[in-house]
Amino acid sequence: MAGTWFQLCFIENEGMAFGMKIMDAPAGKVILTLFRLVAVVLGFFWLKKLLRQGYSKGLLICAAFILAGAAGNLIDSMFYGMIFTDSDYAVARLVPFGEGYGSFLHGRVVDMFYFPMIDTTWPQWMPVLGGRPLRFFEPVFNLADACISVGVIVLLLFQKKLMKPKNIKENT
């Protein structure tokens, strides 16, 4: 499908962003899933605190996006392996609860969106890179990853405006 800017894929990601892993052992997957669980629980407390302190709707929406994305990836990590077969280069099949490829906390996160907007080759005249493939935006991601990314990027771009409670007025 060379030249297309959007593709749907099926990738089971055993790790976190870009397939990185804490360690290449089952314990690494459990540690990552427990970290996600702690992050989601703390995220709910953070969102509740922001609500009580009267922060802007923009910050609450960003926090909700981050929390929803983290929760989505957590649910996959906890249960996906219990309800789907191992995919082995094909799409996984739904099976009765507990008959999947893995146990509780050992699920993979499914990534599916792929946007290779630029898929070409570096010009031959370029030193070191000449003739090598150039693909812009190679990561495959899911809706949860997109929610987390959008929430974080908007917070970073508009932090001055979003990060103060409504009841604090600027001295202008």
Annotated catalytic residue, options 24, 76, 88, 111:
111
Specify the pairing of strand 118-121 against strand 140-141: unpaired
Give the angle 133-136-137 at the CA atoms, nearest 5°: 130
**Strand pairing partners for 113?**
8, 141
CB 25 within 8 A of CB 121: no
- Taking residue 95's Cβ as centre, other Cβ atoms within 10 Å add up to 13
C-alpha torsion 46→148→103→25, nearest 10 = -100
Whether 24 is catalytic is no
| Per-residue 3-state assignment (H helix, E strand, C coil) for 27-38 | HHHHHHHHHHHH
The catalytic residues are 111, 145
